[in-house]
Structure 1
Amino acid sequence: MHFESWGLLGLFASAFISSTVAPGGSEAVLAYLVNQNQIPVVSLVAVATLGNTLGALTTWWLGLWAAAKYPADNLLAGERQRSLRAVRRWGSWALLFSWLPLVGDGLCFAAGWLRVSWISSLCAIFFGKVLRYIAVAYAFI
């Protein structure tokens, strides 16, 4: 397999994992690959955005799955209630901030739990994440 393929695959995996409940460092991987100047930046941003968006949608789906078994208000306390309040107040618009560390996972999970529209969630998640990756890539060009 060519280096470019491994780089893109590694970036996708890192971005996907970073956007689920597991910690990750997709920004560092993106910055490294941008500095290597072997893969077009547009391709790097696209792959990172795709992986991170799919990871966030996985977290959204986990929230939807959990909602079928557990009532949101009774199960979550304290910090996690903030995500529920934000999504209740702002709906899918809150997911523009799904790229934020720690907070973003909670927002995606809460949106699924509260059954926020899948398509509007996808759009908000994608838009927030693509802007974040463009900013990161631009900082390292």
Structure 2
Amino acid sequence: MTELCLMFSAAFIAATLLPGGSEVLLVALLNNDTSNWLALVILASVGNTLGSITSYYLGTLGRFARSPQEMAKGKYKRSVGLIEKYGYWALLLAWMPVIGDLLCLLAGWMKLPLLKSTLIILVGKSVRYLLVAGLTLHWL
């Protein structure tokens, strides 16, 4: 039970703007005990998705701080362009380091639909954790 809580917490924290390596923890926990692999993947996916939704909500607050013209310039230009081009589908990349956090922030800032955004984020993150778990179990 402690391992499951640890996995959820680490995945949540890793998805916010704080650095973290939840994949490393997943591999370590699977090396210790493979019987909980599905529960670990589910909790990592849900925790990481909820962390991204936290970033989404922070983005909704940021809407008051900057104008659309400011956000479309400079260091945010590429990420804004991804979301403008692909909409909530760009959130399939929410699992990626650095850019994933920014995409989630911008999704909230650009007022993308919350339910669709959440589902797409969950799919992308679940696939990532399933791949990590699958490769780890294969090599054990």
Could you say whether these structures have the same fold, taking a TM-score greater than 0.5 normalized by the shorter chain as the test?
Answer: yes
2:33: which partner in 1? 37
Q: 1:87 aligns with which of 79, 83, 86?
A: 83
SS of equivalent to 1:22: coil
User: What is the alpha-carbon distance in structure 2 between the residues aligned to residue 24 and residue 72 of structure 1?
Assistant: 30
Overall identity of the aligned pairs, in %: 36
User: What is the alpha-carbon distance in structure 2 between the residues aligned to residue 39 and residue 7 of structure 1?
Assistant: 12
What are the within-5 Å matches in structure 2 for residues 103-118 of structure 1? 103-118=99-114
TM-aligned CA deviation for residue 26 of structure 1:
0.2
- Dislocated runs of 4+, deviation >4 Å: none
TM-score, length-scaled by structure 2: 0.92
1:140: which partner in 2? 136
TM-score, length-scaled by structure 1: 0.91
2:66: which partner in 1? 70
Q: Is the 8 Å Cα contact of residues 72 and 113 (structure 1) preserved in structure 2?
A: no
Q: Deviations over 1:73-93 (max 9, x none)?
A: 315742322111111111000
2:4: which partner in 1? 8
User: What is the alpha-carbon distance in structure 1 between the residues aligned to residue 32 and residue 25 of structure 2?
Assistant: 11
2:119: which partner in 1? 123
SS of equivalent to 1:70: coil
Distance of aligned partners of 1:138 and 1:38 in 2 relative to their CA distance in 1, 3 Å threshold: closer
2:94: which partner in 1? 98
Q: Deviations over 1:34-92 (max 9, x none)?
A: 11115511100000001100000000110011113422431574232211111111100
